[in-house]
């Protein structure tokens, strides 16, 4: 019954229309209507996204649910949508996270509630648009438009240094993306089309590829974020309201790594091959060095932000290790393992980091502090919450049985096929990750209640219990039985491995 509906368009435009609608309920006394309408639209979006999974054909790498309409005829730009095994799970993740964020902001946001909810709904549509665009200009429009609501979310509802953080966030990401725009235009001048799939088949000399690769790298590395352009992230995370942090960590960062698999690697495979040492080095710096940075943080949100950078390093490592694996073993199987691991890591990190930010949000709403030193012995007054927090911390540290383990393990396993020392460095994260997360949990959750504030804490209410439990179920589910996710990706990843290893020179 769904097969003839333009599902992707519905999933993109439902939340955007909902967001605009919510804006009309901006009076203070209408805040409750704004909340319910937002919830309705975000749930509706998620429901509409479910058929994308249930009706997904796992046997093919071809784009599915394709929609193609001419849009800007002068430049041959089409409204071209479609998903494959890489983008479809990310769309579900986005729709799911938005529901959580709407619930999480329910009582907490009292200042301009309607605008807050509207920003998240509109951003939801735009992010799904990024994941489903098959036309470079359409992709770029969604990619950049997303900055506007995020800029406002951090700036309006953020912490004390929000203005600095949000302008830094905006300029950093804008800086990266405009170079991508030039690269896209250049490829258009070579191929006469803005179709991403046409770019995949476009022949380019090594020199051209390297320039294009660097342009993409600037755009995506800022979003991921990779060392050394990661400095906006801790600032943005710390100052953003809880919902903003969740969206940033769970989805925005994935846009960068998604860009690598959708653009950089298939379009410039030779440049990716030539420069994989650079990418691996940067990834390892992120994994190891940033883990140390996370260890010394005094602010919980900052700690989780650095932990995100470190985890995202795993994703980029999983992508770019492919070239050395094939060089060493000639075996595409191992290469696919690395990419699969990286993709699982993307999804898993979306849930885990989102959940951790929500945990910090729950505490912040009660104590108005994010400093680790202000807490201690939270378990005495908030036992249920403490259980969730410990669970998500374990997932963040990559405990087997949680989703965090699956991706990391696959990436480490595949890097052993490339180089022992790379694998060794990557594997240290299991130690450092455990160190910084569990140490934080120890200081915050366990021990005796350190001050009057902690003694007066009340445990999670139903609303908070609901979204934390929902996330816990997903994290545990993906950890114990990742097969549904892997099945969806398999055909696409196999095709991707072939695509990115064929020379285009």
Partner 1 sequence: MDIVIPDFTPAIPEIFILSMACIILIADLYISDDNRFITYLLSLATLVGASLLTINLHTGESVLTFNGTFINDTMADVLKIFIYLVTGVVFIYARGYLQDRNMFKGEFYVLGLFGVLGMMVMVSAHNFLTIYLGLELLSLSLYALVAMHRDSQDASEAAMKYFVLGALASGMLLYGMSLLYGVTGTLDIAEFRTNIGQIADPNQIVLVLGLVLVIVGLAFKLGAVPFHMWIPDIYHGAPTAVTLFIGSAPKIAAFAMIMRLLVDGLGSIHAQWQDILIIMAVLSMGIGNIIAIAQSNIKRMLAYSTISHVGFILLGILAGSKAGYSASMFYTIVYAIMSMGGFGMVLLMSRAGFEADKLDDYKGLNERSPWFAFMMLILMFSMAGVPPTVGFYAKLSVLQAVVGADITWLAVIAVIFSIIGAFYYIRIVKLMYFDKPEDMTPITSNAEMRILLSANSLGVLALGIFPSSLLALCMAAVPNL
User: Binding string, 22-41, against partner 1, x = CB under 8 A?
Assistant: ----x---------------
Tell which positions 45-74 bind partner 1, by CB under 8 A.
70-74
216 part of the interface to partner 1, by CB under 8 A: no
188 part of the interface to partner 1, by CB under 8 A: yes
Concatenate the DSSP letters of all residues of 104-163 into one string. HTTTT--TTHHHHHHHHHHHHHHHHHHHHB-BHHHHHHHHHHTHHHHHHHHHHH--TTHH
185 part of the interface to partner 1, by CB under 8 A: yes
Closest CA relative to residue 316, chosen from 267, 270, 275, 357: 275
Residue 66 backbone dihedrals phi, psi, to 5 degrees: -70, 140
- Under 8 Å CB-to-CB from 144, ≥6 apart: which residues? 174, 177
Asked if residues 48 and 28 have their Cβ atoms less than 8 Å apart, the reply is: no
Q: Which element (helix H / strand E) includes 80? A: strand 77-83
Q: Say how far apart CA 453 and CA 96 lie, in whole Å.
A: 33
User: Binding string, 331-360, against partner 1, x = CB under 8 A?
Assistant: ------------------------------
| Closest CB to partner 1 among residues 50, 185 | 185
Q: Say how far apart CA 429 and CA 431 lie, in whole Å.
A: 5
Provide, rounded to whole angstroms, the least separation between the CB of residue 162 and partner 1: 7
Residue selected from 181, 288, 427, 438 as contacting partner 1 according to rule CB under 8 A: 181
Contact window for partner 1 (CB under 8 A) among 138-146, 266-274, 307-315, 380-388:
138-146
Indicate if the alpha-carbon torsion angle 314, 319, 320, 325 is positive or negative: positive
- Under 8 Å CB-to-CB from 315, ≥6 apart: which residues? 224, 257, 342, 343, 345, 346, 349, 407, 411
Task: State how far the alpha carbon of 30 is from the alpha carbons of 35, 108, 110, 123, in Å.
Answer: 9, 16, 11, 22
Residue selected from 47, 55, 68, 182 as contacting partner 1 according to rule CB under 8 A: 182
Residue selected from 52, 128, 152, 356 as contacting partner 1 according to rule CB under 8 A: 152
Closest CA relative to residue 445, chosen from 327, 359, 349, 366: 359
Closest CA relative to residue 356, chosen from 478, 465, 481, 250: 250
Coil, strand, or helix at residue 79?
strand
Provide, rounded to whole angstroms, the least separation between the CB of residue 152 and partner 1: 6
Q: What is the dihedral of CA 220, 224, 230, 234, to 10 degrees?
A: 140
Provide, rounded to whole angstroms, the least separation between the CB of residue 293 and partner 1: 27
156 part of the interface to partner 1, by CB under 8 A: yes
Contact window for partner 1 (CB under 8 A) among 164-172, 224-232, 389-397, 494-502:
164-172
Asked if residues 27 and 84 have their Cβ atoms less than 8 Å apart, the reply is: no
134 part of the interface to partner 1, by CB under 8 A: no
Contact window for partner 1 (CB under 8 A) among 61-69, 174-182, 304-312, 340-348:
174-182
222 part of the interface to partner 1, by CB under 8 A: no
Tell which positions 408-467 bind partner 1, by CB under 8 A.
none
179 part of the interface to partner 1, by CB under 8 A: yes
480 part of the interface to partner 1, by CB under 8 A: no
Residue selected from 25, 131, 140, 258 as contacting partner 1 according to rule CB under 8 A: 140
Residue selected from 10, 39, 43, 167 as contacting partner 1 according to rule CB under 8 A: 167
75 part of the interface to partner 1, by CB under 8 A: yes
271 part of the interface to partner 1, by CB under 8 A: no
175 part of the interface to partner 1, by CB under 8 A: yes
Provide, rounded to whole angstroms, the least separation between the CB of residue 500 and partner 1: 25
Taking the CB of residue 422, how many other CB atoms lie within 10 A of it? 20
The residues that touch partner 1, with contacts defined as CB under 8 A, are 26, 70-75, 112, 115, 137, 140-141, 144-145, 147-148, 151-152, 155-156, 162-163, 166-167, 170-171, 174-175, 178-179, 181-182, 185-186, 188-189
């Amino acid at each position: 019954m769904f097969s003839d509906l333009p599902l992707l368009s519905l999933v993109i435009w439902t939340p955007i229309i909902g967001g605009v609608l919510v804006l009309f309920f901006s009076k203070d006394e209408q805040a409750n209507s704004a909340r319910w309408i937002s919830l309705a639209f975000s749930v509706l979006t998620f429901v509409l996204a479910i058929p994308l999974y249930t009706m997904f054909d796992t046997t093919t790498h071809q784009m599915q649910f394709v929609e193609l309409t001419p849009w800007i005829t002068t430049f041959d730009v089409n409204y071209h949508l479609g998903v494959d095994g890489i983008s479809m799970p990310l769309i579900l993740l986005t729709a799911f996270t938005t529901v959580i964020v709407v619930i999480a902001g329910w009582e907490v946001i009292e200042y301009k509630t309607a605008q807050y909810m509207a920003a998240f709904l509109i951003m939801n549509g735009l992010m799904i648009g990024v994941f489903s665009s098959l036309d470079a200009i359409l992709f770029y429009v969604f990619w950049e438009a997303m900055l506007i609501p995020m800029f406002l979310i951090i700036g309006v509802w953020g912490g004390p240094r929000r203005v600095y953080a949000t302008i830094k966030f905006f300029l950093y990401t804008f800086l990266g993306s405009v170079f991508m725009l030039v690269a896209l235009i250049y490829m258009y001048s070579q191929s006469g089309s803005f179709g991403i799939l046409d770019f995949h088949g476009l022949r380019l000399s090594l020199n051209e590829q390297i320039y294009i690769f660097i342009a993409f790298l600037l755009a995506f590395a800022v979003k991921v974020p990779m060392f050394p352009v990661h400095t906006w992230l801790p600032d943005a995370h710390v100052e953003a309201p809880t919902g903003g942090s969740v969206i940033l960590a769970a989805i925005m960062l994935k846009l960068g790594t998604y860009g690598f698999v959708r653009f950089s690697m298939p379009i410039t495979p030779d440049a990716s091959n030539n420069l994989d040492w650079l990418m691996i080095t940067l990834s390892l710096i992120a994994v190891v060095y940033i883990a140390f940075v996370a260890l010394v943080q005094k602010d919980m949100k900052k700690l989780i932000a650095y932990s995100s950078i470190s985890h995202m390093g795993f994703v980029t490592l999983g992508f770019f290790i492919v070239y050395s694996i094939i060089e060493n073993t000639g075996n595409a199987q191992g290469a696919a393992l690395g990419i699969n691991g990286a993709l699982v890591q993307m999804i898993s990190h979306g849930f885990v980091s989102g959940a951790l930010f929500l945990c910090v949000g729950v505490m912040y709403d009660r104590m108005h502090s994010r400093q680790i030193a202000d807490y201690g012995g939270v378990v005495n007054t908030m036992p249920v919450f403490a259980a969730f927090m410990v669970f998500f911390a374990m997932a963040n540290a990559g405990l087997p049985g949680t989703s965090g383990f699956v991706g990391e393990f696959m990436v480490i396993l595949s890097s052993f096929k490339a180089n022992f020392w790379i694998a060794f460095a990557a594997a240290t994260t299991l130690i450092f990750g455990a160190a910084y997360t569990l140490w934080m949990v120890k200081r915050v959750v366990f021990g005796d209640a350190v001050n009057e504030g902690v003694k007066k804490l009340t445990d999670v209410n139903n609303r908070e219990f609901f979204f934390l439990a929902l996330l816990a179920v997903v994290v545990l589910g993906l950890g114990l039985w990742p097969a549904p996710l892997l099945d969806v990706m398999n055909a696409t990843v196999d095709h991707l491995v072939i695509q990115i290893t064929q020379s285009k020179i």
